[in-house]
């Protein structure tokens, strides 16, 4: 079942969030006081309004209680972001996700109604640093407390060995969640456009102690950054 999202702010962060929610099949209403921004995002949202989110009367007209999640995506005017968050809370918004650039802003937002605060620039910076800290890391998702999920190349010295034989949990303090074989591509259904680029190989999540690893494959592993870098 799709959910209803209200996004305040159609700048880069708000726009990309709306586009991804659109891809996921969610219902999105977006608000911004800039008409050009609204026109650019129209193909990706269910509805859009031009207006000032610091205007309580305008915000009240949106029926914020009807949305499952409200996202305050204002990035260049913290006072407006704070006022918008406060207004959403006063109007009975269920869940308010607000954007911040510092811990000081986070404290103000949480005190004024935000359910959760996100740091897009900080999170992207961390992702970039870890992703490109090694040529063998192709993707990364932060989990918590120093742990992350990484997609990494199978080390050459592990090639030809079974996961159980390597005893990775005890020796390397990681868990292997899946293996991707770059030479195995998903079969396209009849009638598909074969002129387009083939979809990437699927990650095999059905693995166990007997799963054999080979050079050229990538692994999805859970562990601390330090443990992953020791492997690489």
pLDDT band at 183 (very low <50, low <70, confident <90, very high): low
Asked if residue 29 lies in contact with residue 64, where contact means CB atoms within 8 angstroms, the answer is no
Q: Residue 153 has which token pair?
A: 């190349």
197 has pLDDT over 70: no
CA 86 to chain centre: 25
Torsion angle of the four alpha carbons 72, 76, 80, 85, in this order, in degrees rounded to the nearest 10: 20
pLDDT of residue 146: 79
Angle at 139 between CA 138 and CA 144, to 5 degrees: 145
Asked if residue 160 lies in contact with residue 201, where contact means CB atoms within 8 angstroms, the answer is no
pLDDT of residue 184: 58
pLDDT of residue 144: 75
pLDDT band at 9 (very low <50, low <70, confident <90, very high): very high
Q: What is the pLDDT of residues 200-227, one digit of tens each?
A: 678 889 998 899 999 999 999 999 888 8
Angle at 33 between CA 56 and CA 101, to 5 degrees: 85
List domains and CATH numbers for the chain: 4-118 (3.40.50.720), 124-231 (3.30.70.1450)
pLDDT of residue 191: 57
Q: What is the pLDDT of residues 74-121, one digit of tens each?
A: 988 999 999 999 999 999 999 999 999 999 999 999 999 999 999 988
């Amino acid at each position: 079942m799709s959910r209803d999202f209200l996004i305040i702010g159609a700048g880069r962060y708000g726009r990309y969030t709306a586009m991804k929610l659109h891809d996921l099949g969610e219902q999105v209403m977006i608000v911004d006081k800039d008409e050009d921004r609204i026109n650019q995002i129209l193909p990706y949202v269910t509805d859009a309004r031009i207006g000032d989110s610091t205007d309580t009367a305008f915000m009240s007209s949106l029926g914020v209680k009807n949305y499952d999640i409200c996202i305050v995506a204002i990035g260049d005017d913290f006072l407006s972001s704070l006022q918008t968050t406060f207004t959403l809370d006063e109007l009975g918004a269920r869940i308010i996700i607000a954007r911040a650039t510092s811990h000081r802003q986070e404290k103000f937002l949480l005190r004024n109604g935000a359910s959760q605060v996100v740091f897009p620039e900080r999170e992207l910076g961390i992702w970039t640093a870890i992703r490109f800290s090694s040529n063998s890391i192709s993707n990364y998702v932060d989990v918590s407390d120093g742990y992350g999920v990484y997609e990494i190349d199978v080390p050459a010295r592990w090639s030809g060995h079974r996961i159980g034989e390597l005893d990775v949990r005890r020796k390397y303090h990681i868990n292997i969640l899946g293996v991707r074989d770059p030479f195995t591509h998903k079969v396209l259904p009849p009638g598909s456009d074969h002129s387009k680029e083939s979809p990437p190989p699927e990650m095999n999540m059905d693995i166990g102690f007997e799963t054999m690893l080979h050079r050229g494959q990538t692994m999805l592993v859970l562990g601390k950054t330090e443990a992953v870098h020791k492997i690489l």
